[in-house]
Amino acid sequence: MREQERFERERQARAGKVMSKDDVVRLFDEHEKMWARIPTLDILGWGSFPWPMLKKPSTPEELLTPAIGAYVLNPNVASEKSEKDRIKEHIRRWHPDRFDTRLLPKVRADEREKVKDGAGQVTRCLNELLMRHS
């Protein structure tokens, strides 16, 4: 797991996409605001969701465990929670029982399958991270 995270950081550095600590903190703040806003919106789309990655994905296939782990377990975000609890917090947000009943019905029909696939991929990646941290 740590090796995959290191590889992802190195890949981002080679691509010139290393985020500063302030950039990461701003991204997390924006994502929290998005989560707070989502219940008030009538229509959602792919871009309405704060996908748990440092770089916004454009397809479900871009939602990979190393990238999601680099986001969820990012050391630049102050948290008193354990890594395991941070992962569980994200699982609660993306879990199909909640996501598919409360949020998916609000997604535009032309993006619903894409969003459902993305949320499912996020959940699988988070569960994989949780198994590694148990």
Q: Give the Cα separation of 63 and 44 in Å (integer).
A: 19
φ/ψ (deg, to 5) at 79: -155, 140
Question: How many domains, the chain?
Answer: 1
| Cα separation, 64 vs 125, whole angstroms | 7
Split at pLDDT 50, 70, 90, the class of 10 is: low
Residue 84 has a pLDDT of 95
Q: Which distant-in-sequence residues (6+ apart) come within 8 Å of 58 by Cβ? A: 46
Q: Could you tell me the pLDDT band of residue 134, with boundaries at 50, 70 and 90?
A: confident
Rounded Cα distance between 89 and 126, Å, is 10
Look at residue 130 in the predicted model and tell me its pLDDT: 97
Q: Name the percent of the chain lying above pLDDT 70.
A: 87
Write down the mean pLDDT value for the chain: 90
CB crowding 35-46: b at 16 or more within 10 Å, else e: eeebeeeeebeb
Strand partners, 107: 44
pLDDT of residue 16 exceeding 50: no
Token pair, residue 81, equals: 């929670």
The domain containing residue 83 runs over which residues? 2-132
pLDDT of residue 19 exceeding 90: no
Asked if 24 and 75 touch (Cβ cutoff 8 Å), the reply is: no
- H helices of the chain, where? 2-14, 21-37, 65-72, 83-94, 96-98, 109-132
Quick: pLDDT tens for 54-87. 999 999 999 999 999 999 999 988 788 999 999 9
| Lowest model confidence (mean pLDDT) among 13-22, 39-48, 108-117, 125-134 | 13-22
